[in-house]
Amino acid sequence: MEEKELINRLRALHFIAGVLVNQQNDPRCSVCKSRAKVVEDAKGELEKLESNLANTAIPEPFERVYKRTKELFSEIKVPENPIPQRKEGRCFFADQECLIKECFDVYEDLLGKD
């Protein structure tokens, strides 16, 4: 993987990790099943990134971003029995959109994933 792509992937993953940590303080998102699923998917993305970084050096400022991204992931907590908030009528965004899933869609869009 090219350095440019690795850096873009890292920056996008740093964004989604920040969202996931931040939403732990939200009374609905913190216990939501959708957030738990996105955490699982994002951790998978972190594993892919780490395997690619093992073979490629990135500039020092992005090494700091990588370190902070790993710290953010270590701060993420997921409930043992997450609740499907939207299905239970507890999440009220327009068109029943999920804030966390929408943010993960942004992550994927930034990387050009379908």
pLDDT tens digits for 4-45?
899 999 999 999 999 999 999 999 999 999 999 999 999 999
Burial of residue 39 (number of CB atoms within 10 Å: 0-12, 13-18, 19+): buried
pLDDT digits (tens, 9 = 90+) for 80-113: 999 999 888 888 777 778 899 999 999 888 888 7
How distant is the alpha carbon of residue 67 from its chain centre?
15
Residue 106 to residue 83: CA distance in whole angstroms: 23
Nearest Cα neighbor of 19 from 94, 108, 110, 103 is 103
User: What one-character DSSP code corresponds to residue 57?
Assistant: -
Q: What residue numbers bound the domain in which 75 lies?
A: 3-110
Domains: count for the chain = 1
User: What one-character DSSP code corresponds to residue 64?
Assistant: H
Categorize the per-residue pLDDT at 114 as very low, low, confident or very high, splitting at 50, 70 and 90.
low
Q: What is the pTM of this model?
A: 0.90
